[in-house]
Chain A
Amino acid sequence: MATIRLSVNGKARSVDTEPERPLLEVLREDLGLTGTKYGCGEGQCGACTVLLDGKPAVSCVTPVRAAEGRKITTIEGLAESGKLHPVQEAFLDEGAVQCGYCTPGMVLQTVALLANHPKPTDAQIVEGLNGNLCRCSDYNRIVAAVRRAAAGAGKKG
């Protein structure tokens, strides 16, 4: 056991836990942040995606000690005082949600993609999101949501 200090969604958090425990489990079980999902435990589906210092990471295969000293953003940290993040708005407006279990990971992956490519081509969207699975297979509309988010960001910027 060790005391691990984390910065989660802008707040300092401290947990006593095994340092090799997956970040995903600590977020869900110790910090009550259940928006981040378990999907496969092998970093193949992206349901557990969080942002570490703004970069996407699969939290199911990230030991919690590896997140120490880095800024962790989960889906719960995107909306600000009830106002949805533009990417969340875009998923909502496009209706790019079926069962929704992959959605938090998709949204965070999109946030990271748009930070790198504010005006992504379709090929960049496909490559950027290819690590995230949606078994409802709503890929067509998720691509549309990402396009919508990029267009919206452009308008506001």
Chain B
Amino acid sequence: MSTVNRREFLEIAGAGLLIVATAPLSDAQRGGGGGGGGTLESRLHIGEDGFITVLSGKIEEGQGALTELAMAAAEELRVPLGRVRMVMGDTEQTPNDGATAGSGTTPRTAPLVRRAAGAARGLLLAAAGRQVGVDAARLEVRDGVVEYGGKKYGYAELARSAELAAAYKEVLPANITVSAAKDWQVLGKPQIRLDARELVTGEHRFPSDIVRPGMLYGRVLRAPSYGATLGSVDLTEARKMAGVTAVRDGGFVACAAPTTFAAQKALAAISATAQWKTVEQPSSDELFGYLKQHARAQERPQGQERGSVEKGLAEARTRLKATYQVPYVQHAPMEPRAAVAEWQDGRLTVWTGTSNPASVRQQLAETLGVAQERVRVVVPHFGGGFGGKHTGEAATEAARLAKEAGRPVAVQWTRAEEFMWAYFRPAALIEIEAGLDAGNAVSAWDFTNYNSGASGVDTPYRIANTRARFVASDTPLRQSSYRVLAATANNFAREAFTDELAQAAGRDPLEFRLSQLDNERMRNVLKAAAERFGWVERRKRRRPGRGIGLACGTEKNSVVAACCEVEMDGAGGAPRLVEVVQAFECGAILNPANLRAQVEGAIMMGVGPALREEILFKDGKLTNARFAMYRVPRFRDLPKLDVILLDRKDLESAGAGETPIIVIAPAVANAVFDATGKAVRAMPIRGARG
């Protein structure tokens, strides 16, 4: 830690005793990886004021990681939650905990924080034991205080020990025990987010709200269509405008000005002179044929295989096949990509919204030609990502502009830029063929996902002959992560097709699933959702124009099931979602209030691609890249929503930011199938007309 940063750190954490680092931490010391996970001093600071500061390289984007990690520390240190502060996502101050992705904070980072906090408690108890002359095992901490012989010892006081300072620098052992879920005092109890107050008052500074002295606002010239390359461009007019800096560096053309309005004018002047070479691009009309034609057959497919699919299909009494289509969708977080970059004495600091600060730091160093040690990436709590902000485009753009301007520069993408130039959730083409045996059970299952990914490709059902594969394809649009990756597409296709099979078998969708489902946790959520929804009774009471459907799935070591009811509009067009009951289980629940928010939010976010969202493109341009046309869920889409959280204190806690999104689309598809008699094989689900 440099002197400056040490001072900054103390401003946040308060004067304290245990952090005495005089040299920058090496990456190995910072590492939050396996084993004990780095040194105690890289993770926890105990202030003279009795406040504990916890450091984590994870970021907060609304998913509740900050509160969860603070709860984890409070639990093991036996201090009230209000005494814990968090510092997150700062490459110069926090350990590298990897990207905030894949529901990883709960199963991987929370245990690291708990072990560090548990180790600190152990050291402090030992210090207390020495001080009062008794075995530490006879002492305990309550509300951050050790009480013995009528006297009280607080953490800050106990921490004033040379032995502790030495122990604090050692790498944590792996064998620290943490409290069992059944004994939790802080974890497992509903807790409102610690950062909520600054959000309701508007005081919190999101990346797009950061202001630095003398800062300019930047805009970047974008190609008119995908694949277009810049021929010539003239910056003269823009450079004549007051306070404008304009830069061209290869394909990068951008400008910065004292206001966004002025930058926009300068960009318009630049844009008017730009000559582009365009190339032919596929359109969304031909997307699914394109994905099949461009499948990379030579690559080894990923997925499960057991028995013989050929034999299973040959021996089947009934064979069914279907093809499913899932289009590209955009994350469209409320806060588009944003960054502020500032150079000072050859050092670069960038504030930005990314789930991957360490990788953005590396990318900045490479692009700007500066050593990584001279680059700092700070990630304030930002306005949503959903897997869509693993990259650092705005960070790089701001850094290049700031270097040219010699002043700090802010870059915030417009909504139109965010739609077109952020990456998309991959489109999927899925082919399934299955066979039913003489007993009307599924005996063969052949499943191929083209392009979108292997997550959730395997079937959870007990089927003797199974082949599930992911085959990569060339993608017409830039694609990458989205909440739970391909598991949404794969669960949609599998669960929708399962209802077609159930119908062919003349069996109830619930009973049909349970008869071939061994996963006890999945059975539990399926039964819980069906029971609360009244599945069995409602199957008997049919109402015209209405249908009910269910679906289940598992991903990231958690399980989920939903039942829903839809109402078809009179014209046979769009279905309206009337009611959803969803049951979810992710092991021992860390924060039930936040978990409920994640599950409800995932369901409602999933309603978008289920019913309406679809990126349309032609000639290398998007044709519906506006909220007026690309219609994400709104209040009017809110159904009656009932969420059941099953708490399994006997199981490890799994992450919950992703899996709760996977069953809403197939449940709706099956409800539409039930209402119309017509099988649904594409998202968005359009009902009889589609």
Do A97 and B193 have beta carbons less than 8 Å apart? yes
Do A107 and B332 have beta carbons less than 8 Å apart? no
Do B383 and A75 have beta carbons less than 8 Å apart? no
What's the A-B contact tally at a CB cutoff of 8 Å?
Answer: 179
Do A99 and B200 have beta carbons less than 8 Å apart? no
Name the distance in Å between B264's Cβ and chain A's nearest Cβ: 9
Among B251-269, those with CB < 8 Å from A are 259-261
* Contact sample, A vs B, 9 pairs, CB 8 Å cutoff: A38-B412, A39-B334, A39-B336, A42-B626, A95-B196, A100-B383, A101-B333, A133-B627, A136-B62
A113–B412 alpha-carbon span in the complex (Å): 31
9 other A-B residue contacts (CB within 8 Å) besides A45-B415, A98-B62, A130-B635: A22-B261, A34-B208, A34-B209, A97-B196, A126-B636, A135-B605, A136-B597, A137-B633, A141-B600
A143–B604 alpha-carbon span in the complex (Å): 13
Among B329-351, those with CB < 8 Å from A are 331-336
Do A101 and B638 have beta carbons less than 8 Å apart? no
A30–B603 alpha-carbon span in the complex (Å): 39
Residue B203 CB within 8 A of the other chain: yes
Among A19-44, those with CB < 8 Å from B are 21-22, 25, 28-30, 32, 34-42, 44
Name the distance in Å between B669's Cβ and chain A's nearest Cβ: 19
Within 8 Å by CB of B632, from A79, A97, A135, lies: A135
Question: Using an 8 Å CB-CB cutoff, how does the interface string of B189-222 with A read, 1 for contact, 0 for none?
Answer: 0001101110111111110110100000100000
Do A138 and B335 have beta carbons less than 8 Å apart? no
A127–B331 alpha-carbon span in the complex (Å): 25
Contacts of A39 in B (CB 8 A): 334-336, 415
Do B627 and A18 have beta carbons less than 8 Å apart? no
Do B335 and A101 have beta carbons less than 8 Å apart? yes
**Given A91-B200, A130-B634, also A40-B415 (CB < 8 A):** yes
Name the distance in Å between A84's Cβ and chain B's nearest Cβ: 7
Contacts of B193 in A (CB 8 A): 95, 97
Do B382 and A45 have beta carbons less than 8 Å apart? no
Contacts of B334 in A (CB 8 A): 37, 39, 45, 47, 99, 101-102, 133-136
Question: Using an 8 Å CB-CB cutoff, how does the interface string of B578-603 with A read, 1 for contact, 0 for none?
Answer: 00000000000000011001001111
Name the distance in Å between A29's Cβ and chain B's nearest Cβ: 5
Do A138 and B211 have beta carbons less than 8 Å apart? no
Within 8 Å by CB of A36, from B197, B202, B635, B641, lies: B202
Do B61 and A99 have beta carbons less than 8 Å apart? yes
Residue B467 CB within 8 A of the other chain: no
Residue B571 CB within 8 A of the other chain: no
Do B259 and A139 have beta carbons less than 8 Å apart? no
**Given A29-B217, A79-B201, A103-B200, also A133-B632 (CB < 8 A):** yes
Among A127-154, those with CB < 8 Å from B are 127, 129-130, 132-143
Question: Using an 8 Å CB-CB cutoff, how does the interface string of A76-103 with B read, 1 for contact, 0 for none?
Answer: 1011000010001001110101111111
Residue A125 CB within 8 A of the other chain: yes
A34–B203 alpha-carbon span in the complex (Å): 8
Residue A74 CB within 8 A of the other chain: yes
Contacts of B211 in A (CB 8 A): 32, 34
Interface centre among A39, A95, A99, A127 (most CB of B within 10 A): A99
A29–B637 alpha-carbon span in the complex (Å): 35
Question: Using an 8 Å CB-CB cutoff, how does the interface string of A93-121 with B read, 1 for contact, 0 for none?
Answer: 10101111111100100000000000000
Residue B628 CB within 8 A of the other chain: yes
Residue B384 CB within 8 A of the other chain: yes
Within 8 Å by CB of B627, from A42, A92, A141, lies: A42
Chain B residues within 8 Å of A, Cβ to Cβ? 61-64, 192-193, 195-197, 199-206, 208-209, 211, 217, 259-261, 331-336, 381-384, 386, 412, 414-416, 593-594, 597, 600-605, 607-608, 626-628, 632-638, 641
A138–B594 alpha-carbon span in the complex (Å): 11
A139–B597 alpha-carbon span in the complex (Å): 10
Name the distance in Å between A98's Cβ and chain B's nearest Cβ: 4
Do A101 and B597 have beta carbons less than 8 Å apart? no
Contacts of B608 in A (CB 8 A): 137
Closest to A146 in B: B635
A51–B605 alpha-carbon span in the complex (Å): 28
Contacts of A140 in B (CB 8 A): 600, 604, 638, 641
Do A138 and B208 have beta carbons less than 8 Å apart? no
Question: Using an 8 Å CB-CB cutoff, how does the interface string of A39-78 with B read, 1 for contact, 0 for none?
Answer: 1111011010000000000000000000000000011101
Within 8 Å by CB of A126, from B594, B628, B635, lies: B635
Interface size class of A (residues with CB under 8 A): 35 or more
Do B200 and A97 have beta carbons less than 8 Å apart? yes
Contacts of B638 in A (CB 8 A): 126, 139-140, 143
Name the distance in Å between A56's Cβ and chain B's nearest Cβ: 14
Closest to B415 in A: A40
Contacts of A107 in B (CB 8 A): 200
Contacts of B633 in A (CB 8 A): 137, 139
**Given A88-B200, A95-B196, A103-B200, also A137-B628 (CB < 8 A):** no
Name the distance in Å between A107's Cβ and chain B's nearest Cβ: 6
Name the distance in Å between A139's Cβ and chain B's nearest Cβ: 5
4 smallest CB-CB distances across A and B, nearest first, come from: A35-B202, A99-B62, A101-B383, A100-B199
Name the distance in Å between B263's Cβ and chain A's nearest Cβ: 10
Do B201 and A75 have beta carbons less than 8 Å apart? yes
Do A84 and B201 have beta carbons less than 8 Å apart? yes
Contacts of A143 in B (CB 8 A): 635, 638
Name the distance in Å between B425's Cβ and chain A's nearest Cβ: 14
Contacts of A129 in B (CB 8 A): 635
Name the distance in Å between B257's Cβ and chain A's nearest Cβ: 11
A92–B597 alpha-carbon span in the complex (Å): 13
Do A88 and B261 have beta carbons less than 8 Å apart? no
Contacts of A137 in B (CB 8 A): 600-605, 607-608, 633
**Given A38-B208, A42-B626, also A136-B200 (CB < 8 A):** no
Contacts of B205 in A (CB 8 A): 34
Contacts of A35 in B (CB 8 A): 201-203
Within 8 Å by CB of A135, from B201, B261, B384, B594, lies: B384
Contacts of A100 in B (CB 8 A): 62, 195-196, 199-200, 204, 381, 383
